[in-house]
A and B are shown apart, each in its own frame.
Chain A
């Protein structure tokens, strides 16, 4: 229903350059998450799309129609963009009941009364809070207020729904519940959504696409699993994934057959068709970083194969369904995720086996990915 194209967007606050030449296309029906640490420009991007902020450069098209053209100082007001926004603080008007909160925008659109009533009922029903229609926001719990805020946003049946960290004020359990509700809402309505969060789990579990921001620049836009498996650079690799990815420094050599990396983990060879040629350095030999996800390492108490790597247990932290084990290999520490409950003693000797087809290799100098993960 709605395709949004941001081209060359620049946004300054005074001298601060907040968004730096942001280009982003959101396809119709996408659940696009803008992900990044605080202050990286993701909320600003959302507000630029919503029309609450005016960028200094760039254009935005919505379904081919130009809604922003900074060069011509053309900025369509928010109300003409057929979108709605869920604020981080919910921004429920405290002097209006739930019904009045939702009806406010519908009445401005001059919808007939029975249509307004139907929309209110629908929206509240969808968010399962129909019984609170005559309460004031202060009489609702945080989770219920959150639902009202979403109901208010979807009642206008927007083509584009924007959400600015909507779950960050909820407690951990409610957050998990609301995640699945939002995902369900997306599949049921098919509305294009732009979702801002700094929580990578939210991003990975809900989105169809994720845009990673860093200091006002979009670093990578990709499907969540693609992002996880093949982060474009060290920054993304480090940001995505919990527990964090393990980085191991090594010396790389390129040959006709592929890439060889020597590190404390021994000698690893990667075939040429797993390599990202455009990022490959010109030199024959260079510094590289191995990126190994904690679940890509198997841990055993005895040697299973000659290529296994000897390591010493540092700590072992059982967390129920999994155990996080920190080991030391030649002075480098690595975190390993082992399924189930296992127990290791400190300083115990263990053996690690790593599936080299799945791990990533980065160029240390440019920080870019040079070797894909292959399933």
Chain B
């Protein structure tokens, strides 16, 4: 094209090019990240797909083939056999029912709350703003436990719930099944919608609304025509987040559904997985992944280019609260009732029940500290002592703390590094690849995710005959890897937004000054993102502390965590002990959250802008 300088030399060009790639640690880090992500995310997914097409030993005779050969047996059984309705359709419909209803109610509650908190002159805002996010901190299975304590009927044997003991007859449809599940999950997931929508509302300049007012629009019109469209993208994001979480949830279904044979895809997945029907379980997991992918796709189509609405109007601007006027006392009262019944009462019930020797006996004489600190009595809980004297509990507590701490540290570091790559590689191929890879775990339901890792790491991982990873079944390492990878989408999203806040010029200035990659990372990038590191750590900590769905399939007695212990106690009909464990866990979560709020600027919404 142009006269090149005469001293052009091909070999020198090649040498320089290789040197540039090899001596830049950034390239190395990107490479390692891509290899690791491929190994930990793409491989398991492929493994899952191929497993669902491979005939297992125990089905070989029935399906008429040899073990290990290619088969459509599982898919055919799932999709086109007499069993389809029972195995797939009914659970699928139930899952969709739960997903759609929960999304609807959660988004409704969350958005209304967000609007009230951000936009109006609601009284007692500091109290409310703390109270509304408590549901985020209480795991959903804790809430279902509280629900049972309240509404339990004699149908399943055992002791009556609080209402029954007061002489109020609770119908079964209220105590168990879809109504109970939808209520509990809505009360849980509205926190996501609340956090996302309030962040969006906060970024809208109130001048936009005031302009509408000047044009003569009434409050309702402004809300409908200006505010609502502006927060719509955030609401749709919340829908996706809630929907995919709701169809992937297992704990609540197990607590409130199993008694009345209400099954969903996730509970079927668990059952199949537990009974070694791995192939069927994976096929179901793939169906769930498809549903999640479709919902994300639809979401992106719906939002499209309007994604950036919230940031238009720029600097947040002044915000003039909208007066609630004469509705103020009524709205405040409704909110108070909501919090009393939706949040305080469940916790209070759990605490109360944990002190009751026999379930359903609300007399004073029945109160005891036995489940907390009691010595073993042969007639109670098969002779197990109170949790603080129980080696199982201590073990689970240590496991939980260890798991959350290790995960918090690794998850945050990986999240920040991947965030760094995504931020630096914006618009470039490697940035896009990493961003897409890291998003995949988001689509895989927690329980399926645990299942894949279980099957993948149960056998030693070999490459060319060399054992890369030994069998991890029942080890702490497996729990850690699973949790870190599953939480990567959130951690890296937080990391990306964190890194984007650090202007590229700050790093370039250091490059000009002669600082190498590591020096830049340690001296410039890390100190500037410290706040993000801390809040990222806290978020992962909180999230993993309450995690049940993800790790339930991986649990062995040795690696048991607090949620799993509570789950076991509940299933073995010792709800009081289960309550005790839940309360301990909730206290830790709350404490950590409070610390994060005091010492860092932990912003819960940041981690999940889904």
Contacts and interface: CB of A to CB of B under 8 A. Distances in A.
B509 A93 contact: yes
B379 interface: no
A323 B303 CA distance: 54
Interface stretch (A79-87, A196-204, A288-296, A305-313): A79-87
Interface in B140-185: none
B512 A104 contact: no
A94 B506 CA distance: 9
B515 A108 contact: yes
B20 interface: yes
Contacts of B528: 93-95
A74 B16 CA distance: 6
Interface residues of A, number: 35
B510 interface: yes
Interface stretch (B207-215, B340-348, B519-527): B519-527
A104 B505 contact: no
B511 A78 contact: yes
Contacts of B519: 108
Given A57-B1, A94-B528, A72 B16 contact: yes
Contacts of A207: none
B505 A72 contact: no
Contacts of B14: 73
A366 to B, nearest CB: 23
Contact of B503 (A10, A57, A91): A91
A3 interface: no
Contacts of A88: 505
A84 B12 CA distance: 28
Contacts of A95: 527-528
Counting chain A CB atoms within 10 Å of each CB, the highest count among B1, B4, B16, B17 belongs to B4
Contacts of A73: 13-14, 16-17, 20
B508 interface: yes
Interface string A115-158: 00000000000000000000000000000000000001000100
A21 interface: yes
Contact of B506 (A51, A93, A105): A93
A191 interface: no
Interface string A44-77: 0000001110000101000000000101111101
B513 A104 contact: yes
A45 to B, nearest CB: 16
A216 to B, nearest CB: 14
B2 A8 contact: yes
B382 interface: no
Contact of A156 (B510, B513, B515): B513
Contacts of B527: 95
Contacts of A69: 5, 7-8
Given A7-B5, A59-B5, A69-B5, A74 B509 contact: no
Contacts of B17: 73
A72 B12 contact: yes
A89 interface: yes
A73 B13 CA distance: 5
B216 interface: no
A48 to B, nearest CB: 13
Given A8-B3, A69-B5, A91-B506, A85 B512 contact: yes
A93 B13 contact: no
Given A57-B2, A73-B17, A87 B505 contact: yes
Given A72-B16, A75-B20, A83 B2 contact: no
Interface residues of B, number: 30
Counting chain A CB atoms within 10 Å of each CB, the highest count among B509, B515, B528 belongs to B509
B514 interface: yes
Contact of A71 (B13, B508, B510, B523): B13
Contact of B512 (A74, A75, A79, A94): A79
B462 interface: no
Interface string A176-188: 0000000000000
B467 interface: no
B532 to A, nearest CB: 13
B512 A78 contact: yes
A169 interface: no
A342 interface: no
Nearest to B506: A91
B13 A87 contact: no
A302 interface: no
B26 to A, nearest CB: 13
A147 to B, nearest CB: 16
B515 A104 contact: yes
Nearest to B12: A72
Interface string B522-545: 011001100000000000000000
Nearest to B17: A73
B363 interface: no
Interface in A1-58: 7-8, 10, 21, 50-52, 57
B190 to A, nearest CB: 37
Interface in B407-447: none
A72 B9 contact: yes
A7 B17 CA distance: 21
B20 A52 contact: no
A71 B1 CA distance: 12
A150 to B, nearest CB: 13
A52 B506 CA distance: 13
A109 interface: yes
Contacts of A57: 1-2, 4
Interface string A245-263: 0000000000000000000
A188 to B, nearest CB: 22
Counting chain B CB atoms within 10 Å of each CB, the highest count among A7, A72, A77, A89 belongs to A72
A326 to B, nearest CB: 36
B388 to A, nearest CB: 44
A89 B503 contact: yes
A156 B513 CA distance: 8
A83 B511 CA distance: 11
A10 B510 CA distance: 26
Contacts of B524: 93
Given A72-B9, A73-B13, A104-B523, A21 B2 contact: yes
Contacts of B12: 72, 74
A316 B511 CA distance: 53
Contacts of B503: 89, 91
Given A57-B1, A57-B2, A104 B13 contact: no
Given A8-B3, A57-B1, A50 B16 contact: no
B225 to A, nearest CB: 36
Nearest to A21: B2
A25 B13 CA distance: 25
B254 to A, nearest CB: 48
Counting chain A CB atoms within 10 Å of each CB, the highest count among B14, B512, B514 belongs to B512
A50 B8 contact: no
B8 A89 contact: no
Contact of A105 (B2, B505, B514): B514
B512 A50 contact: yes
Top 4 A-B pairs, shortest CB-CB distance: A105-B513, A79-B514, A91-B505, A91-B509
Interface of B: 1-5, 7-9, 12-14, 16-17, 20, 503, 505-506, 508-515, 519, 523-524, 527-528
Given A87-B508, A91-B505, A108-B513, 14 more contacts: A10-B2, A21-B2, A57-B4, A72-B12, A72-B16, A73-B13, A73-B14, A74-B12, A78-B511, A84-B512, A85-B512, A94-B506, A94-B528, A108-B515
26 contacts: A52-B508, A52-B511, A57-B1, A57-B4, A71-B4, A72-B7, A72-B9, A73-B17, A75-B20, A78-B512, A79-B511, A79-B515, A83-B512, A84-B513, A87-B505, A87-B509, A88-B505, A89-B505, A91-B508, A93-B506, A94-B528, A95-B528, A104-B513, A105-B515, A108-B515, A108-B519
Interface of A: 7-8, 10, 21, 50-52, 57, 59, 69, 71-75, 77-79, 83-85, 87-89, 91-95, 104-105, 108-109, 152, 156
